[in-house]
Chains A and B, each alone.
Chain A
């Protein structure tokens, strides 16, 4: 579904992403791991066409993303790291807006997201103003909003930062269900334990790939018991700053 080749992004003299090569399959949960500033967000933003790469190629579902065609954009669902629903709109009005810009009839959109709304227990807050919701609900709502158009590719940039452990489990349950339904889910996180839920992960440091593969295989390869240990090993103890 996603193929990147020698992906590079420079901001002035600073190289944020350095030679990233990926292949992400349909139905795969793919994790971007790394400390803050490792280049996860920039890599994701390039793949969804928000940031133009300095060099390299990105093919999403057979289409070159740099062309910025409308067709590709319909296939992408994106939840940004910063909460970005409209605070002055009701929850349901936010969903209605996103359905509108993706040209999905609202009835159809609600049908698409009904199971997740129920799973998250959001039925009762749909009429509330978004700004009045607690953080955990805002995050859940953001994820739901990114799914109104039933995209085959879902990008979640740090979806679980700032939510309690109970909510994090719920999130991963939903992510699993999405993958099971055949969507590719690309998640970035700095919680090492969450990496265990991914089919494959890339660990990034200073924009570069330091490890790529299945979490269990990577642990075996570096004879680590936990992801935390693996992380420290591949980064070198000085650089590891997991939060």
Chain B
């Protein structure tokens, strides 16, 4: 049985390390803020002020109404057409426009057809432009269209703001990175400095060492989560529709999982450098690519979909998006929470089995 007094001794010592090591404190508080700001402003998936060239051959009230509808949004910006060049291919090649709107003669009378040219060298933006344009035409001119009238009902993020999407994702990404780094470095540092040797001679067991290391960092991880949440809400106006206590409870589970991942890394790495590389490698890219943060899991190949089950952020993303955007409570989230709990216990057990109480 792990002995509580010994765990307490290790945890207290760890608190001293944390409070006196400005480097660790920097990792814990400055890095998340920098990431949030850089990612937040750089990873903007919305498009704004798309340069649009309009070639209006109809020049009647209908065509003017259509052009107005386009340029009175934040999405498009009218670029004055220069003489001669009206071919979309040429315009795109010279980067004078990203979209063109060609309105044929007789628009509004004989025909309702217009041509929208889109530069799809950036396919994501192209898709967005098409969506916006379709949206504009549908809302303004739905009555004029014939046949099926599709009325979209967009819930939870009606403006489709991408900050709603990346701020919760960033909380998931930053937490797993920082937490895995912290525990893995803290253990490998003791191995490197030789202080671990003194601990190994003592009656302390592997589980006690690992638990003593994890407990102080749980508090730090939760503080970090609150910091990112607060700054994310302030800077990017992300809503928080769920209950705070639910957020705290599930975030605790996620922090625990991430810390245990760091412990597991520390049993494999011999040096601080190695631990750092491994912790980053096991968290950064897998979380970005396979958690459903950037790319929907359902559109991945089956084999990748299976792999996502071992990515902790996969579960936490459902949790955090659920709480922040949909106001989910425990009833909606307990399955994901349970998965995190199982993962952290499994990793803790493997780590304490692998942790060698002897020098190799």
Interface residues of A (CB under 8 A from B): 45, 48-52, 68, 70, 73-74, 76, 78, 80, 82-86, 88-89, 93, 96-103, 145
A45-B359, A97-B10, A102-B203 given. 18 additional CB < 8 A pairs?
A: A50-B197, A50-B200, A51-B358, A80-B197, A84-B195, A84-B197, A85-B195, A86-B13, A88-B16, A89-B13, A93-B13, A93-B16, A100-B5, A100-B8, A100-B9, A101-B6, A101-B203, A145-B198
Rounded to whole angstroms, the CA-CA distance of A135 and B153 in the bound complex is 73
- Whether A84 contacts B198 by the Cβ 8 Å rule is yes
User: Min CB distance, A104 to chain B, in Å?
Assistant: 10
Is B193 part of the contact surface with A, judged by Cβ < 8 Å? yes
Is B298 part of the contact surface with A, judged by Cβ < 8 Å? no
Given contacts A52-B358, A97-B13, contact A84 B193 (CB under 8 A): yes
Given contacts A97-B13, A100-B8, contact A73 B358 (CB under 8 A): no
| Interfacial chain B residues near A103, Cβ < 8 Å | 3, 5-6, 203
Rounded to whole angstroms, the CA-CA distance of A70 and B207 in the bound complex is 14
The 6 listed contacts between A and B (C-beta, < 8 Å) are A80-B194, A86-B17, A89-B17, A97-B13, A100-B8, A102-B202
Rounded to whole angstroms, the CA-CA distance of A98 and B20 in the bound complex is 19
| Interfacial chain A residues near B202, Cβ < 8 Å | 73, 98, 101-102
Rounded to whole angstroms, the CA-CA distance of A136 and B21 in the bound complex is 25
Is B55 part of the contact surface with A, judged by Cβ < 8 Å? no
| Overall SS of chain A's interface | loop
Is B126 part of the contact surface with A, judged by Cβ < 8 Å? no
Q: Which residue of B lies closest to A72 (CB)?
A: B203
Q: Which residue of A lies closest to B10 (CB)?
A: A101
Rounded to whole angstroms, the CA-CA distance of A72 and B17 in the bound complex is 29
User: Min CB distance, A72 to chain B, in Å?
Assistant: 9
- Whether A50 contacts B203 by the Cβ 8 Å rule is no
User: Min CB distance, A53 to chain B, in Å?
Assistant: 11
| Interfacial chain A residues near B9, Cβ < 8 Å | 96-97, 99-101
Count B-side interface residues using an 8 Å CB cutoff.
27
Task: Please report which residues of chain B, range 311-360, place their CB below 8 angstroms from some CB of chain A when the two chains form the complex.
Answer: 357-359
Rounded to whole angstroms, the CA-CA distance of A52 and B193 in the bound complex is 21
- Whether A48 contacts B12 by the Cβ 8 Å rule is no
Task: Please report which residues of chain B, range 179-221, place their CB below 8 angstroms from some CB of chain A when the two chains form the complex.
Answer: 193-195, 197-205
User: Min CB distance, B190 to chain A, in Å?
Assistant: 9
Rounded to whole angstroms, the CA-CA distance of A3 and B3 in the bound complex is 30
Q: Which residue of A lies closest to B208 (CB)?
A: A101
- Whether B198 contacts A80 by the Cβ 8 Å rule is yes
Q: Which residue of A lies closest to B195 (CB)?
A: A84
Given contacts A51-B358, A88-B17, A103-B3, contact A70 B198 (CB under 8 A): no
| Interfacial chain B residues near A93, Cβ < 8 Å | 13, 16
User: Min CB distance, B342 to chain A, in Å?
Assistant: 30
Task: Please report which residues of chain B, range 88-137, place their CB below 8 angstroms from some CB of chain A when the two chains form the complex.
Answer: none
Q: Which residue of B lies closest to A81 (CB)?
A: B194
User: Min CB distance, B34 to chain A, in Å?
Assistant: 25
Q: Which residue of B lies closest to A46 (CB)?
A: B358
- Whether A49 contacts B203 by the Cβ 8 Å rule is no
Most buried by B among A89, A99, A103: A103
User: Min CB distance, B349 to chain A, in Å?
Assistant: 19
Q: Which residue of B lies closest to A79 (CB)?
A: B198
Most buried by A among B5, B13, B193, B359: B13
User: Min CB distance, A230 to chain B, in Å?
Assistant: 32
Given contacts A45-B359, A49-B358, A50-B358, contact A74 B194 (CB under 8 A): no
Given contacts A50-B359, A70-B203, contact A84 B194 (CB under 8 A): yes
- Whether B201 contacts A73 by the Cβ 8 Å rule is yes
User: Min CB distance, B171 to chain A, in Å?
Assistant: 30
| Interfacial chain A residues near B20, Cβ < 8 Å | 88-89
- Whether B195 contacts A86 by the Cβ 8 Å rule is yes
| Interfacial chain B residues near A78, Cβ < 8 Å | 198, 201
User: Min CB distance, A171 to chain B, in Å?
Assistant: 19
Rounded to whole angstroms, the CA-CA distance of A48 and B202 in the bound complex is 10
Rounded to whole angstroms, the CA-CA distance of A103 and B358 in the bound complex is 21
| Interfacial chain B residues near A86, Cβ < 8 Å | 13, 16-17, 195
